[in-house]
Amino acid sequence: MDSHQTPYPLMTTGELAEALRSAAPPALLDVRWQLGGPPGEQEYRKGHLPGAHYVDLDRELAAPPGPQGRHPLPDPAVLAEALHRAGVSADRDVVVYDAGPATSAARAWWLLRWAGHPSVRVLDGGLAAWTAQGLPLSTETPGHGGGDFTPVPGGMPVLDADEAARLARSGLLLDARAGERYRGETEPVDPRAGHIPGAVSAPTTGNLMEDGRFLPAEKLAARFRDLGVAGTGTGVYCGSGVTAAHQVLALEAAGFRAALYPGSWSEWSADPERPAASGPLPG
């Protein structure tokens, strides 16, 4: 298990409600997003957590699609501008949320950690958990938050395609996509079906309870130990580096550190020189 000193990555609705009432409330980021749309900003304007700023995953938490995949890591200057608008400063806690179950929120969490922010957490269960508790929403759009955080990339481990290939053979590479995509039975988005040879199927849905919140830490730890996680030498990929961040978040909640392959299957499958395995086994 890793003993790095960072806050537990998840926050309950009660903890957030209390923090927002405090003298030093966290910067609050709404990062609702879904593959294929509609844009999350439309939902944000219909109602969001009071004081939350909307941050767009496609435009601000990723670079334009290209050879490095559908959601390459963003230009630090673009990321900085979005975070400044949202009130993010190095000495201010940050909380991120989405509609639930934290897929895009995990991307924001991971990016902030990658960029060097010391204190960022995800609202467990997202907007769904907040409204289920009868907590209020707002339609007011806050002004510029006046943040001053400067991203310094390198705070979280990353893999390129060659490193992912090696880790699949020498360590443990988890595939966070749905099982049918891993097995190569369907591929709705990327150029080819299948998985990186040697990777182990670990769908992110296995991290969650029925209500969309994460399993308790001890149950997450048991899940990952069953998958072969032993504390070192673990990497994660998905379709484009978004749900993989959800897996890294779950691993951290369980006490493990893992590297993320940002290009993921969208980069790998677009390169005809890269092999693809299929079926239920790592291959």
**Segment 97-139, tens digit of pLDDT:** 999 899 999 999 999 999 999 999 999 999 999 999 999 999 9
Q: Which two tokens stand for residue 66?
A: 């290209």
Residue-level pLDDT at 231: 65
Catalytic residue among 221, 238, 258, 260: 238
The overall average pLDDT reported for the chain is 95
Asked whether the predicted pLDDT for residue 3 surpasses 60, the reply is no
Residue-level pLDDT at 34: 85
Q: Is 235 a catalytic residue?
A: no
Task: Provide the whole-model pTM.
Answer: 0.95
Per-residue pLDDT band for 5 (boundaries 50, 70, 90) equals low
Asked whether the predicted pLDDT for residue 190 surpasses 60, the reply is yes
Asked whether the predicted pLDDT for residue 251 surpasses 70, the reply is yes
Asked whether the predicted pLDDT for residue 175 surpasses 70, the reply is yes
Per-residue pLDDT band for 1 (boundaries 50, 70, 90) equals very low
